[in-house]
Amino acid sequence: MTKRIVLVGGGHTHLQLVEAFGKRPLAGWTIVLVSPERIVAYSGMAPGVVAGHYRPDDLEIDLERLCAAHDTEFRRARVVGIDRNARRAGLEDGSSIRYDLLSLDVGSVPATAGVAGAAENALPLKPIGHFLGGLDAILGTPKPRIVVVGGGPAGVEVALALRHRLRHAGHGAALSLVAAGPILEDLPAGVRRYFRSLLAQRHVQLIENAPVSAIAADAVHLEDGREIASDLTLLATGAAPPAWLARTGLQLSNGFVAVHPTLQTLTDPDIFAAGDCAEIVGIPRPKAGVFAVRAGPPLAANLRARAERRPLQPWSPQKKYLAVLATGPKHAVAVRGRFFVTGRWVWFWKDRIDRNWVRRFRP
């Protein structure tokens, strides 16, 4: 019987693994990718769809086609548990899939702990495909009051993109951005100042240091008692771990799967994890696609090494990283460390990088 590497989730990291094992097959091993969606959308370009610069299908990667091109089995299913003794991943339909090596790249979900009504009354930005599917309804409602909850890069980008799109469509929507702390907390103060002034210029009401306590169908309630009327609430809150990870028996760190720098879980050397769903113990990094992308080559190398019984190499994601935030029109801000630059050229540069990324996985 051939041995089997099961890749759970078609996130940024696993896309690269499908490609890597397709280009350099692992003798005696079958690769299986398990994903609840056949089509995944690249999040980095999602604000561009909101702004009207891209069509939703510009972002799409067809996992089944990618797998077929790289001699990988595609299984459309959602993993809901792991039986480590039997070495099987349990699926939502009650069946299970056998693995010899297992890798998790299942992303994160918007944090809503303690926010009553969030699940019922807000549209989360993730899964991206679901969010973009709801866009027509947003843009079709005349003069809505829209509240974006979450002051990280995704929330800020989406608020500015919405303003751009609605203005072009002639909608004078009242748009608010609510952040539990300061906006763009992980970025330098100069970038925060830049975006505060941009949001003010674009008439996006910014409410900082205001944790949300509840989301109703027609309002967002803040912990300090304030209430913001809302016809539509978008949820761009920070990354939280998918709930089912807590039932896997794997050791967690802040709710995410705790891994060594080799990307092996602390609990089981044959189970790996990367991207948003993982946390390398002692090397905390923000939950950003850039780290999920960077994890691709070391994860591929270490899965291969484990399969071939060779020593694994530790990986330390770099501290400084490039963040590029679009500002609504075809204009963006690139940030690295304490430095940032702005301009239309930054948007076109990001556009090229993003399009190349999607094209790479469209065989």
Ligand X SMILES: Cc1cc2nc3c(=O)[nH]c(=O)nc-3n(C[C@H](O)[C@H](O)[C@H](O)COP(=O)(O)OP(=O)(O)OC[C@H]3O[C@@H](n4cnc5c(N)ncnc54)[C@H](O)[C@@H]3O)c2cc1C
- Residue ranges that bind ligand X, judged by CB under 6 A: 8-13, 34-37, 40, 43-44, 46-47, 78-79, 105-107, 125-127, 154, 158, 242, 275-277, 287-290, 292
Nearer to ligand X, 117 or 124 (CB): 124
Closest contact distance (angstroms) between CB of 205 and ligand X is 20
The contacts of residue 227 (CB under 8 Å, 6+ apart) are: 219, 220, 221
Q: How many CB atoms lie within 10 A of CB 253?
A: 16
Closest contact distance (angstroms) between CB of 20 and ligand X is 15
Closest contact distance (angstroms) between CB of 203 and ligand X is 21
Closest contact distance (angstroms) between CB of 98 and ligand X is 16
Contact 259, 285 (CB under 8 A): no
Nearer to ligand X, 9 or 117 (CB): 9
Cα angle 333-337-341, degrees, rounded to a multiple of 5: 25
Tell me the residue type at 276. D
Nearer to ligand X, 26 or 46 (CB): 46
Tokens of 223: 């912990």
Closest contact distance (angstroms) between CB of 77 and ligand X is 7
Measured CA distances, 139 to 32, 135, 168, 170, 173 (Å): 39, 6, 11, 11, 10
Nearer to ligand X, 216 or 321 (CB): 321
Nearer to ligand X, 219 or 303 (CB): 303
SS3 61: strand
Nearer to ligand X, 79 or 312 (CB): 79
The per-residue b/e assignment along 181-199, b for 16 or more CB within 10 angstroms, e otherwise, is eebbeebeeebbebbbebb
Closest contact distance (angstroms) between CB of 47 and ligand X is 6
Tokens of 35: 């994903």
Measured CA distances, 182 to 116, 153, 191, 327 (Å): 22, 12, 12, 18
